[in-house]
Amino acid sequence: MVAGDFQAQTRRVLDNLAAVARAAGGSMDDIVKLTVYLTDLGRFAEINEIMTGYFAEPFPARAAIGVAALPRDAQVEIDAVLVLQG
């Protein structure tokens, strides 16, 4: 986990999701749904901007959930649904 900087934390989360997708035999293109957990919902626009570097259109469906706190004082956490063919 990256301490401090929100954008660096977001990129690390997305890099980790990409690694999990690869390990499962897929890619970020196979992600169909994201749930974004934020300690500050006001930063959702920043998340959207960063995601454009990781996803192509059509973008996965997304939901944002505001939370009081995340483990290890993280500012963002994302889970994903990955659909693999075959």
> Which domains does the chain carry?
6-82 (3.30.1330.40)
Q: If DSSP codes are grouped into helix, strand and coil, which group holds residue 31?
A: strand
pLDDT value for 1: 76
List own/partner pairs for 67-71 with CB under 8 A and 24 or more apart: 67/37, 67/38, 67/39, 68/39, 69/39, 70/37, 70/39
Judge whether 24 and 85 are in contact, CB under 8 Å.
no
Question: pLDDT tens digits, residue range 28-86?
Answer: 999 999 999 999 999 999 999 999 999 999 999 999 999 999 999 999 999 999 999 87
pTM of the predicted model over 0.85: yes
